[in-house]
Chains A and B, each alone.
Chain A
Amino acid sequence: MAKIHVTTTINGAPTEFLCDPSQTLLDVLRDQLGLTGSKEGCGSGDCGACSVTVDGRLVCSCLVLAPEAEGAKVETIEGMAQGDKLHPLQKKFVEMAALQCGICTPGFLIASRALLERNNNPTETEIRYWLAGNLCRCTGYDKIIHAVMEVAAEMRESAK
C-alpha cells in the first residue's frame, strides 16, 4: 500500500513521518514517533486518554487520521513540561493526588490546559462539563476537578 508522507509540527518541532491512509494520529504518535504519553483507552472517542490539540483544538487523536496532521501544529503531553520543570497543572495533580494508575492523566492534563487557556475562571460545573469526555476509573474525579480549580485560582492570582 502506498504510504503518505506527512510534514507536521509536534510540540514545536518540525516532524516528518510516513503513514498508511487509514492510520490514526494516535497510532503514529505512539508506534512510529515514540510519543507514548497519549494513551489508547477505548479507541472510539469516549474516554479521552488520547487527547491532544491540533491547531489549538482539543481532540481525540484516535479519531484523527494521521494524514490530517499535514501542515498542522500538534501538541501532546510530551510537550507540557519544560525539561524538568513541570507545568502548573502537572505539579498540582501530583500535590493533590489527582491521579492513581495514571492512564487517563495525560488526557486530563491536555484537556485541562485547553480549558484554562480559554477561561482562567471556570466554575466547578464548567470544569466538569469540559472534562466529561475524559474518563478516570480510579480517582472519582473530585481530586482532578479540585486540582484544576486550584491552578485556575493561582493563574488568576499571578495575573493580578
Chain B
Amino acid sequence: MEREETLENRGPVTLFVDGVEVTVPAGSTILEAAAATGIRVPTLCDHPALKPRAACRLCVVECDGGHRLKAACATEVYEGARVATKSRELLNLRRTVLRLILSNHPDECPVCERNLNCELQTLAREFGIPRLPFREEFPKTPDEKDSGDILRNPDKCVKCGRCVAVCREIQGVEAAGDFGRSRDYGPGTPFGEELADGPCVACGECVLACPVGALRERDDSGAVLKALDEAGKVKVALLSPEVAPGLEDALGCPRGSVGAGGTITALKRTGFERVFGRDAFLALSALEEAGMFLSSEAPDKPFVSLCSPRAESFLIRGLPGDSVIVSKAPNPDGIFGGIFGEAIAASFLPCVARKSGKESKNPGAGAGEVRGLTFALNSRELARLAKVRGFDLAGLPPSDFDVPPEAARVPKNARGIPEGAREDFARIARAIFALDAEGERGRPFSALRARNAGRVRTLALSGGKTADFVLVFGTLEAKRVLGEKAKGVARPTRVKVMSCPRGCAGGGGQVRETVRAFPREPESGGFAAPGERGEPWNPPELPGEKELLARLFGGAEG
C-alpha cells in the first residue's frame, strides 16, 4: 500500500488517545493508535488488508475537540493529536449510525448463513441495541441475485464496499464496482451483468470479505444429499485435509478438534461408499503435468498451471497471443472425476472456484477444468452437510481413507517419456507435487498486504540443465508475474497460479473470519517451505512414487 511505502522515512508519532499517551509509527491510522492503547473503536467498513473507505462512519472520533468528527480508520495520526474515542456524546452518535444501518436490514438473523458469525450482529449486540430501530416496514428480500456460484442478497448488504475493494485491490480483477446513488448505491457489475459473465475468477475472496450475509456461495449441500439417495450409482468422495479449519469454524468447534477420521466416518454414514484422500490424486496430477511440462514444444514460453478455469480468461487473454503455454493437465479433482465419471463424485475442498470448474460450458477448452465431477463443496458446505445430518464430527469414531483404485495410480502422459528423461520426469513431478501441495496449505493473512512476487524454486535437471518452478498467490500478483514471464523465459519455467491470495487453506470456501475477531491468522498448514527463492531445490518424494515409477518404467528413479 502507498501508505506503507512512505512511512519508512518518517519517524514515530506521539499522540493522546483518551488522554493516554501513545507512540506509533508515522502513517498509522487513529484506529491503530487506539488499538495500541487497548481501545477497540467499532468498525464495519474497515478491513485490515484494504485501503480505508470511511463509509460506515461507525469509527468516528473527535480530534482536538473539533465539531466535525473524523473516521478513525481513515485518518492518519499526527504529532500531538488529542483524540477522544468514547465520550458519551460520541457513543450516542455511533449508536445512531448503527441504528441507521440496522434500520433497513432484514430481520432474518436466525435463518441467515452468517448468524453468530456476522459483524453487524456483533456490533448490535455490543452496542446493546434493544430492537430494530427507525423502521417503517421490513424490506422484502427479493430473490438473491444469482451470479452463478456467488450469490448476493442486496437487502442484507450494508454497502461497506469491502467486496469491491478486495476484488480490486487484492485480486486486481475489478469484476465488481460501486454503482448507483442514494439508497440505490452499492456493489454491482457494469450494466448489471451477471458476475459470471464478467472477468470474475470466482475466487470467492469477496465472500470472505463481506462482513454480513450479503454474499455467499451457492449451497450445494442439499443437492448432494438428494443425489446420495439415488439408487444404482456409486457414491465417492474426495476429501482434502485443508477443509479442517473452515469446517471447525462453521461448526463452532475449537481448532484442531475435528480430524480427517471423524469426517470420513461422517461422509460414509451420509452415504459415500468410498472416501479418498487427496494426495494420491495430487501425485497423479503432478505426474501428468510433469509429462506435459517435459515434452513442452516451446520451453522458452512459460508453462502455466491454473487452479481455476475462470482465471484463464482474466489472466491469459490479456497476454500477447501464444506467449504462454497453458497446462491442460487435469488437477486432482479432474483425475478423480475422470476415474469416477460414472459415479456420483463429490470433492470437498476450501474452494469456490471449483464449482464453476466442474460446470465449464466448453469442455476440453479450459485449464483447471474438471470433468466427471458431480459436486464440488467447500468447507462451509461440508459443515452444513454435517449439521443437517446431525453429526458431531469431533466425537465420531475415526475411519481411514480408502485406498485409491489402481487407475488413480497410472498417469496417462507419463508413458511417452524417453528413457533418458525419466529421472528428470520424476524430479519435475515431485517438484510440482511439492509446490502444489504448498499452495494448498495456504499462507497467513498478513501476506495479503505484502506483494508476494512469486516464489521461485530452481531445480537442477540432468545434463547441467535447470528448470524454474514459480508459485504465485492471488490473481493480482499472477497477472504481473505472467506479464513478465510472457516476454520469454531463459529456461523451462512452470508457473503455478493459486487464484486465492492465501492459497487453498485460506481459500474463498474456507473460514469466514470476521474483522471483529482480528487479528487472527488462518491456518498456514505448517508446511515448512523447502528451499529459498532462486536456490536449487530438492523437493520431497511424492507418495507412492517409487512403486509407481517402477511400474511405469521398470526401475526406480533417483
**Do chains A and B stick together as partners?**
no
- CB within 8 Å of B: which residues of A? none
Residues of chain B at the chain A interface (Cβ within 8 Å): none
